[in-house]
Amino acid sequence: MVFTVTLNPAIDKTVVIPGFQPGKVNRIQSLRADAGGKGINVSKCLKQLSVESVAAGIFAGSAGDTLLAMLDEMGISTLSVSVAGQSRTNTKIIDPEQKLNTDINEPGPQVPAQSLTLLRDEIGRRITPGDAVVLSGSLPAGAPDTLYRDWIACFRDLGAKVFLDADGAALVQGVRASPWLVKPNDAELSRLVGRNLETREDLRKAGEALLKTGIREIVISLGGEGALFLSEEAKFQAKALKVPVQSTVGAGDSMVAAMVCGYVNQLPRENVIRLAVAMGAASCMCDGSQAPDGALVHRLAEQVEIAPL
C-alpha cells in the first residue's frame, strides 16, 4: 500500500483574473476548487496512474470536512485525525495576460503534539514491509522541525520506503534520516546545502553528496529545464516537454507520484523517468491542482528524451 501524508492540507481555490491589479477591483473570469496539499496531490495523481493510496492527514473544521468529502468523491481512501480550527483555503490567482501566478496561502490550524503522534501511530499500525510512505509539504503550526526526520526513522523501521518532498528546516532535518527518495527543486537543494547552485554540474554534485548519506534516489526538478535523476546505480538527465502551461501547481507532486508508481510496479528505471517528466508536463496543462489524465501522461512519456550523465 501507498500512504501519502499531508499535515497541512488545503482547499485550493484557483481564480483566473486577466490583467490582475493589486489594490484595484478585479473581476474573476473563472474559478475552481480542488482538494490540495502536496500529499493529497500525490494521491490524486496516483489514482490517475491506477495506483491505490491512502491519503492520511490532519483535518480541521468544516473546511476539513469538505476536503474529506472531495477525496471520497474521487474514490481516494483517507486516514484522518481531526483538530480544532479550520483547514486552510489557499487562493491562487492566475493572470493569463501577464503570465503571472500569485499564491495567497493561509497558515492552517495549530496542531497538538498528541494529534500528530496519533496520526503517526495509526499509519504505523497499517504499514507492512515494502509499503511506500510519502511525506510532503509544509509542517503545521506547532510541529517541530524534526518531525519528518523522526517519522522517516519510524516508518523505515517498520519496513516502508519513505519518499520525502519538503523544504527549509523540515528538509534539512528529514535528509538526516536517509529517506528512500528525496525530490528537491534547484532552489530547495540550494537552500539545503547552504549555497547557490548555479549550474547543472553544481546540482549534480550536491545530489551525489546526498546519495553518500544513505538516500537511494534524488530527483532534482529544474522546471522548464527538465530534471536530474540520480542514484548509485545510474544517473540521468531528462529534457522538459514543451506543453501549453495552465498552472504549475502540483507539478512537483505529480513527479513524486510517478516515482512511487515506478516503485510499486517495479518499472524499468528509464520508463519511470519518462513517466515522471510526462506527469510533470501533463500537470502543467491542467487548471488548478487537478491531476492530469493518465492516458495523456502515457502518450507524453513516449516523447521524453533522457540521457545518461
Active site residues: 253
Q: Which residues contact 265 (CB under 8 A, 6 or more apart)?
A: 51
- Cα 305 to Cα 74, 155, 226, 267, 278, distances in angstroms: 32, 35, 10, 17, 10
Q: Distance of CA 45 to CAs 64, 118, 154, Å?
A: 20, 26, 26
Tell me the residue type at 205. K
Helices H / strands E in the chain, number of each: 10, 14
Say if residues 139 and 156 touch (Cβ distance below 8 Å).
no
Tell me the C-alpha distance between 216 and 161, whole Å.
Answer: 10
Q: Starting at the edge strand that comes first in sequence, how are the strands of the sheet with 10-16 ordered?
A: 30-36, 10-16, 88-95, 100-104
As a whole number of angstroms, the distance between CA 238 and CA 228 comes to 6
CB-CB contact of 132 with 163 (8 Å): yes
Residue 171 to residue 145: CA distance in whole angstroms: 9
